[in-house]
Structure 1
């Protein structure tokens, strides 16, 4: 049991659960909430600065030649997922609170670290995975807010002139500055990679604490029942199963090599918690962010467990038909 927990339970998820519990018991209020909001905004800017600084221009340029793989990954992230999200959101038995969170989840870009890690574990094309995942995250800064504006109708959400300015100042500008600083900062990032891992995860935890504090003050846990939490988990599992099946079919039936098919499945089936939490913090009122990101937090753990199992299976069955069944 201890080995299973260590293998499949993400330590970051444990930290997220503790943060949500803390916000539920001791939510920040009044002036304290204002201070935490400012700290969360600074954390979001730092997070996207680090994203930009970590982005390898050489890896992207080297991988761009494999454009069919990248188109398949982007199509899964920004076409297939949103269509499934719209289907879920329009199901009559899905409560509006759950529908909003599930739809937002499907509009996000792919992960970077876990997509590359699982691709490597499964014996896939690592260079293509780096390029596809990085490109998805880069485009997600623009595409996700646009999709939210098109498909979501939360009060105060969507894209206004103020929201565009906030996206530019808190997401895009720090990202571009981080990437521009790469020649000077890459040495530090590599040397202190372990410490910086705590920094970017700490920034996410601060945003989560701020979001759930505001949601708890607005009565989140009075509106969200245990049955609703179970429904979110089931919807997340079903959504992931559908996308894994679709990306498998694309890789298998589209004539891709085994290595590229693995990239399509692992990069095309993920959603980024690290990008999703700050984007939600920018796009939605504080009182709504907690509920909006809750399905993403649940999906995050389910995708890690499922993809870890798949990656190990593909690794064991390496061969021409290792991804076939």
Structure 2
């Protein structure tokens, strides 16, 4: 119980709740939304530039060489989870607005979250180094694969990943990451000294992206589009999705006969989804009026995965090796 209360003080949760509340009370409209979207794009570029600086190239190569761990992790995250998202999207379409239902497919195609996956792996006594490398590689792959995979599975209902969207992704996600990797030798010491402060860059950029997305959704009447029964269904489906993700990835790690510490790393890297990629990417894929609806399942999933991961890590830390 104490771990759950500590989560309520988690800065990331506070940022998500604050951004959502601000969008509800004072959404950005008209010219203000255009300005906010411009600020969001600039912040996304800066975030991925810093990501390129702080993910060590040796960690990327080390993970790529450990194909026995990374390959099934990638197939799970972008294969099984994406197909599960497609199934949940079809199921949700019976009771929820189309864009919210589509959000389950979007959720399923996203990569893992690095920070919390690593934190909970460490808390559970798992292989933290493997978790860092695995989640980092999945995030890098996700920048290239999540959008086209989403469009492929979603067909005509998904975002049109045409040349304009591909160009925006290349300029705002891939280009700054490549630049960050290229200058890493010059910036590594500075990044290492300021890691605790740089974490706030993640939170602020995510908060801006969520605010812009939900401003559009509020203006389009998301509160009136989903009745109380619909919110209950959405919450129930998100919890079920998370439950199946955890059970499925834990069963797969057992089937692969990983050591216990590696199974723990596989669990958290394979079941958690990244709002750090999801929120900025949604800002590039969808108009603001749609993005807030689409990321609703992602935001709920992110909050619940953090609440569930803390007691789960505690249980695993006490399990027999």
Q: TM-score range by the shorter chain?
A: over 0.9
Counterpart-to-counterpart distance in 2, 1:62 and 1:151: 31
Shift of 1:162: 0.6
Shift of 1:94: 3.8
TM-score normalised to structure 1 length:
0.92
Of 283, 286, 292, which aligns to 1:281?
283
Counterpart-to-counterpart distance in 2, 1:237 and 1:172: 32
Counterpart-to-counterpart distance in 2, 1:138 and 1:177: 14
Corresponding pairs, count: 319
The 3-state SS of whatever aligns with 1:287 is helix
TM-superposition CA deviations, 1:58-80 (whole Å, max 9, x none) = 12323334211111211111011
Q: Which residue of 2 aligns with 1:310?
A: 312
Q: Which residue of 1 aligns with 2:76?
A: 76
Q: Which residue of 2 aligns with 1:93?
A: 94
Alignment of 1:119-268 (within 5 A): 119-153=121-155, 157-268=159-270
TM-superposition CA deviations, 1:126-179 (whole Å, max 9, x none) = 222122101100000111011121122577822111111111101110111112
Runs in 1 of length 4+ with deviation above 4 angstroms?
153-156
**Does the C-alpha gap of structure 1 residues 232 and 285 become closer, same or farther in structure 2, counting only changes over 3 Å?**
same
Counterpart-to-counterpart distance in 1, 2:156 and 2:235: 22
Q: Contact 1:102/1:295 (CA < 8 Å) preserved in 2? A: yes
Q: Contact 1:109/1:275 (CA < 8 Å) preserved in 2? A: yes
Q: Which residue of 2 aligns with 1:323?
A: none
Shift of 1:186: 1.8
Counterpart-to-counterpart distance in 2, 1:72 and 1:315: 24
TM-superposition CA deviations, 1:84-130 (whole Å, max 9, x none) = 11111222634223311111111100111111111122222222212
TM-superposition CA deviations, 1:222-280 (whole Å, max 9, x none) = 21222222222111111111111111111112221112211211111111011100011
TM-score normalised to structure 2 length:
0.94
Counterpart-to-counterpart distance in 1, 2:58 and 2:107: 30
Counterpart-to-counterpart distance in 1, 2:301 and 2:75: 19
